[in-house]
Amino acid sequence: MTEIDGRLPAIQRSLADAQATMRDRVGLDRERHGIRRELDRDLSSRASSIADDPPSHVIERLGRAPSAGPIAPCGMRRRRDSTSTPLPST
């Protein structure tokens, strides 16, 4: 019994820490989502910049990007007879 009584304060502190973390969760989730949005915007900006003017090492490895052609509607692909068909679902 004395062993249990000796461990009780540490267990209560651990419980209080866990409860505080759960109370902070909504705020932490909001902050995490905000950071994710900022990172996504930064990635998009960097990708656009690199696509507009790719570095020489990228061109040496991958070659020049193909010239733009007709774009099929989202979820569609061009057939040889230039009609569109839905992509098969996987």
The larger pLDDT score, comparing residue 5 to residue 41, is at 41
Tokens representing residue 35 in the block: 């950071």
pTM, to two decimals: 0.46
CA distances from 72 to 2, 60, 68, 81, 88 (A): 75, 29, 12, 13, 15
- pLDDT tens for residues 31-77? 999 999 999 999 999 988 888 888 899 889 988 877 777 765 665 55
Q: How confident is the model at residue 80 (pLDDT cuts 50, 70, 90)?
A: low
Amino acid sitting at position 78: R
Q: Would you kindly state where each structural domain of the chain is located, as residue ranges? A: 31-57
Q: Which helix (H) or strand (E) holds 39?
A: helix 2-52
Q: Hey, which residues does 84 pair with through a beta bridge?
A: 78
Cα–Cα distance for residue pair 62/85, rounded to 1 Å: 30
Cα–Cα distance for residue pair 71/18, rounded to 1 Å: 52
Pair 51, 65: CB distance under 8 Å:
yes
